[in-house]
Structure formats: C-alpha cells, structure tokens
Amino acid sequence: MKFIHTSDWHIGRQFHNVSLLEDQRHVLDQLLAYIENEAVDAVIIAGDIYDRSVPPATAVELLDEVLNKICSDLGVPVVLIPGNHDSAERLRFGSRQLRKGGLHVIGEMQQITEPVVISAADCSVNFFGIPYNDPESVRNHFSVDVSSHDQAHAYLLEKITAAKSAEVPNVIISHCFIDGAEESDSERPLSIGGADRVSYKPFAVFDYVALGHLHSPQYKGEEHIRYCGSLLKYSFSEQNQKKGVTLVEMDTSGLKSTTHLPLTPLRDMRIIEGELKAIIEQGKVDPHSDDYLLIRLTDRHAILDPMSKLREVYPNVLHLEKPGMLETGEQQMSREKLKRGELEMFRDFFEQISGQELSEEQDKAIQETLQAMHKKQGDVA
C-alpha cells in the first residue's frame, strides 16, 4: 500500500497582493504526475485546503478540477480533513454523496472513530481523521471538561485509539501544532501565547501520523509522526525550506518507508541583499528573475523610487527593506544633521533624474534655497 501525504495547500492565497493560483496549479500538476507515476493507492490531505473559510470562486474551481483528476481520471481515493483556515461546514458539503466517488471528507466530530478503509492488493489500511477543532468545540460536542488544546487532543486520541483495529495498520490524520516542532511565518496561530501546543505522545501508538498545520516538512517525537509541509513557500522565512509531499509505504506489519517527493515552484521565493546597483546588474543575467523577491538594500544614501528600478529587472519584487537607510535616518536626528541630509538627498535625487552631478553653481543655489526655507520656517516658529 502506497499513499501520498500532503497538506496546507492554501488554495486561493494572496501573497503581498499577488494571487498564487497559477503557482499552485503548477505544483498541483506535479502532484498529479507523482500520483500517476508512483501508482499510489490513496491521497491524504491534512487540512488547510483553502486559505480562507470563504474561498474565491477561482480557488474552488481549481480544487474541483484537481480532485476530479485524482478521484475520477486516476481512480485514486482522497481522504481529507479541514484545517484551521477552512470552514468545516462548507468543505464537507455533499460529503455523504462524494464518498461514493472516492472523495472522503472527514468534516464532522462524530466521524473521528469511523475510519475510511482503503484496500490495496497487498494490504488494507484504516485512515482516521480529526477535523480541526479547538477545546471549546470538543467541550461542546462531547460534553466533556477540557480546557486546553492538549487536553482536548488527548481526549479525542483516547477515543480513536479505542476504535483502532488490531488486524490492519492504522493511520491518523490531524491538523495541530505538536509541542517543540518548528514553525514558519505563514502559519496562523491556533491560539495565542503557545497555548495551541499538543503532546506527540498520544499519536505514538498509530502506524503513521499524517499531520498538517506546520509548513516545514519535519517529524516530531517519533519518525512516523510527520508534517509533510506546505505545497509552496508562503512566507520569506521559508526561503530555504524544501517543499514537497511525502510518499508513505505500508504493509500488513505497519510502516515500511517515507520518501520526500520534491515540488518545483513556478517562481521561487527568495531574499536578496545588497546595493541597488549590484542587484540590478545581477538581475540582468539572473535566469530566475521571475522569482518572488524580498530585497534588502544596503545603500546608505537616498534612492528615488528603488522599487520601479528593481522591477525593471526583477518584475516580482514584492517587498523592499532598507536597513542601510534606517541607520542613516537615526544619525540624522538632530536639526543640523537633518539640514545637511536634505542637501545630500537632493544631490542624490538630481543625479538619479539627470544622470549627472549638480554643478557648483547649482549646488550653491540649492544650499541657498534650503537655508532660506529653514530661515522662513524659523521665523514662523
């Protein structure tokens, strides 16, 4: 039995006001190729299918298209759970009918102890899923006294552990934050101040744990308790993460192997640091000039509209930081320094507009103008 574990698709996400739909389609096509070439028996999606509880129509269309290709064209069943970004009520629409077509949406609490059984030639596997929940929803649904994420989680796991089969391997799908695991900037906290962390221990008795929520691929506690990571980088903090999906192999005795299958983005997400001139030169020959970029300018002088200059070579610069300018700004706090700063800024401005330096005469005229302005301001004050 082989299956692919994926999570955190965040379909419909906007990044710095840019739609990532084409980027998502690009990697989802690679996922479809993996499903076909590896001849997997199932696909597991561990939550955060959409980026928002009410996703844009284009996102719904893309998901519909991808699920139809997996379930109908390739004939591979899908088991999915809602994450904290999804609306469980909306995601589970039609789920009792969809089941017949091989699409299993575990979107209701009462389903947690009813596994989806998927049979391959060599073995069958039980897939249990926990729709994303918080302590309040567990408290209300089961009339049980739990106050923290960890208590709610332990309570649910106790129920599911009791429903586990001794005959076939048991997989559990969950969207949660395991204590001590590595986080990224693009995950929305489940609760403030670290109260969202749960222990890995109740998971240990399962043969494989397919997790979602954290965007960096990793395992926590034990090697079979794994986050496959998000489909794409969704923040610049993830620039060095290797995104992909996890191929899991099981037999009647349990877990055999896990393999990271890499996904190559249409446009990568990177941070470039340096002086404007050097970055522009580099951009002219950069084969990946379409990447989504955060640029950190180290220049210490004023630059006129650096964003449009950079976008001539790097069209997808999404964010600009100027740590060099910040220091200069602090140095210029005093009024005297501020006056000199204006002159220097004008010199930079003139040079960038005209392509040449101010002549001595022009420089003098500007100095006089600035002095006159300050004098006037002083008079008023």
* DSSP-based three-state secondary structure for 177: strand
Of the pair 8, 150, the CB lying nearest Mn ion is at 8
DSSP 1-19: -EEEEE----BT-EETTEE
CB of 231 to Mn ion, least distance (A): 10
CB of 253 to Mn ion, least distance (A): 33
Pairing of strands 116-119, 124-129: antiparallel
Of the pair 48, 196, the CB lying nearest Mn ion is at 48
Of the pair 8, 291, the CB lying nearest Mn ion is at 8
Sequence-ordered list of residues with C-beta below 8 angstroms from that of 341, at least 6 positions apart, any chain: 328, 332
Write the interaction track for Mn ion spanning residues 71-100; mark x where CB under 5 A is met and - where it is not: ------------------------------
CB of 133 to Mn ion, least distance (A): 15
Strand boundaries in the chain, DSSP class E: 2-6, 14-15, 18-19, 42-46, 78-81, 103-105, 116-119, 124-129, 170-175, 177-178, 197-198, 208-212, 218-220, 222-227, 244-251, 254-262, 269-274, 292-297, 317-321
Q: Total number of residues binding Mn ion (CB under 5 A)?
A: 2
CB of 64 to Mn ion, least distance (A): 20
Q: Does 8 bind Mn ion (CB under 5 A)?
A: yes
CB of 191 to Mn ion, least distance (A): 15
CB of 85 to Mn ion, least distance (A): 6
Write the interaction track for Mn ion spanning residues 35-54; mark x where CB under 5 A is met and - where it is not: -------------x------
Sequence-ordered list of residues with C-beta below 8 angstroms from that of 244, at least 6 positions apart, any chain: 217, 228, 229, 260, 261, 262, 263
Write the interaction track for Mn ion spanning residues 131-170; mark x where CB under 5 A is met and - where it is not: ----------------------------------------
- The alpha carbon torsion through 283, 289, 292, 297 (nearest 10 deg) reads 0
State the Cα–Cα distance between residues 161 and 153, nearest whole angstrom: 12
What is the number of the residue whose Cβ is closest to Mn ion? 48
Secondary structure letter of residue 192 according to DSSP: G
CB of 84 to Mn ion, least distance (A): 7
The region of 7-15, 19-27, 273-281, 340-348 touching Mn ion under the rule CB under 5 A is: 7-15
The region of 4-12, 29-37, 89-97, 266-274 touching Mn ion under the rule CB under 5 A is: 4-12
Chain residues that interact with Mn ion, rule: CB under 5 A = 8, 48
